[in-house]
Structure 1
Amino acid sequence: MNAVALHAQSHGTGAPVLLAHAIAYDHRMWTPMLEHFGSQRQAILADLRGHGQSPVPPGPYSLEAMADDCAALLDRFGHARADFVGLSLGGMVGQAFALRHPDRVNRLVLSNTSSSYGPQGRGLWEARKKLVRESGMASLHDLMVSRNFSESFRLEHPEKIAVAMKPLTATSVEGYVGCCDAIAELDYTASLPRIRARTLVIAGSLDPGTPVAMAEILAAGIPDAKLAVIDGAAHLSAYEKPVEYAALVGRFLDTPES
């Protein structure tokens, strides 16, 4: 499968950081966090294939192909290497990128993600595919809101949630289904020890979709990985807790090699 020319926005100057979003979102998911991230790095915000303004090739997709898309994006920006920050689906692509392109990743941040959904994973994502094919993307709205944002955030910031959810109905069914196919194949747990990049794993204490236990498996499997848990955050931690998320990632990227 040929790499897709991803749409991306670039903010700031300096060392490149590629940021990859969750399924059914796009580069705008990072907007609140970016306000606290500073401008001393070049933040490259990608729309993954099937999302935002990126192409929607025929499915099924694979995490490996999506990692190749990211490598091609770095080529386009003229970067041999970059830090990689991925959340949820973006974190799965980040694992694929670190395994498939080890010489192109400096530091790796895997947040609100997993290396496997276990035996039930395929059935879960097949059910999601069936739902959107029969009822459209809007049918996911309530489920995503309840899983991606904590109860307190939902009550206190309905306007922020409305903004966050705008990409949902703009995501094509074909793009979403293709990514469901990729996630259904997620099985990197046994490969985690091969990840050489210095890694930070971030979890949300209230995340029901990729709970802390999944983050602990990632942190235990990747050599010398660090784990940080953002208290009070659900699945979309970078959006719900942007100050805390930006501080964690910034400190991690700035810490000298020991």
Structure 2
Amino acid sequence: MTALDGLAVRRTTAAQQVADGLSERILAGAFHPGDRLRESAIAAELGIARNTVREAVRLLEHGGLVRFDGNRGAVTVSPTPATVDELYTAREHLESAALATPLTDGQLATVEQAFADFVAAAGTRERADTVAADLAFHASIVATLDNSRIDSFYATLTRELRFYLMALSAHEREDENPSKVVAEHEPLMAAIRAGDAGRAQREARHHIATNAARVQGILANRDGD
């Protein structure tokens, strides 16, 4: 008898597959903040049991994309000034911590590649690709902390933030001016390349604060309509 007796390796469950598919569509903008996820309708359209959909929705709740409303059931999360502030404050703390010391050559190479991927994505003028690559670049900075638990937390944070950015900023049409999107990141990248930790932290804080204010402004305009 060993410590592994009775352990079975299972393939991804149907519920996880449904959750993954719904997550992709939520992040792509097929659903909007506050939209209701009708379990019976989803089950009927996909030809699966409603219990499978219910389990999938619970997985999405754990991932931060869905919450349960007492009157409406499962709905996609909707940003508020408080939640946006919390998201960006968490980003600021993590990215500042990651930039507290100059990056090693290996870390810099990884961040450089993430930045190059972001520049390429911006050039496609595809909003979803640009937002995803932007957040992946910032995730590469946080990854220099070399802590898998922080990486997991940051991934959950940016998943929710990506949804908000896709939903709230569509009218800004940033994808039509990719050079502007990239230029906003250049001072931060220049400081990282220079190995100037203090400057990199200041640029990161400025960048994050500027974008937080932009999202808060979009949210305020939306609520005022």
Q: Greater share of strand residues, 1 or 2?
A: 1
Shared fold (TM-score, shorter chain, > 0.5): no
The TM-score, its normalising length taken from structure 1, stands at: 0.25
Q: Rg larger in 1 or in 2?
A: 2
The TM-score, its normalising length taken from structure 2, stands at: 0.28
